[in-house]
């Protein structure tokens, strides 16, 4: 089951205070939410996932939460499941991930064909 447009809009609304540049992009039937140009949340099957890195665990710990792990899709690495209804946690998580994650690499344009 793919994520609904309504759910990703709810996710974006929940973290609207995290920064000026909150957007999302549909990818393979699911969504990636970006903050400051960085991919911060993966949304699959109406569930929000974040990378399992020390910074995300520190944010969960600062809110007194031990997160559940989940796999967003077959073949993916495990991620932490984010309770998107916890607005304070979600905003803090988006801000921290926007701070520590790199910008996506620009796509290379194909070379011009020579005739």
Q: What is the pLDDT of residue 92?
A: 96
Rounded mean pLDDT of the chain? 92
**pLDDT of amino acid 1:** 65
Give φ, ψ of 25 to 5 degrees.
-140, 135
Q: Which domains does the chain have, with CATH numbers?
A: 5-100 (3.30.1460)
Among 20-29, 35-44, 77-86, 101-110, which stretch is predicted with the lowest mean pLDDT? 101-110
Please tell me the pTM assigned to this model. Answer: 0.87
Q: Please tell me the total number of residues recorded for the chain in this structure.
A: 115
pLDDT (tens digit per residue) in 39-51: 999 999 999 999 9
């Amino acid at each position: 089951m793919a994520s609904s447009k309504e759910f990703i809009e709810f996710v974006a609304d929940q973290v609207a205070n995290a920064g000026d540049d909150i957007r999302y992009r549909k990818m393979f039937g699911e969504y990636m939410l970006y903050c400051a140009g960085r991919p911060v949340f993966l949304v699959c099957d109406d569930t929000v996932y974040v990378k399992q890195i020390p910074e995300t665990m520190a944010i969960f710990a600062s809110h007194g939460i031990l997160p559940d792990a989940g796999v967003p899709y077959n073949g993916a690495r495990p991620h932490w499941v984010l309770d998107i209804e916890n607005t304070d946690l979600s905003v803090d998580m988006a801000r921290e991930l926007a701070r520590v994650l790199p910008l996506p690499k620009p796509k290379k344009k194909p070379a011009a064909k020579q005739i």
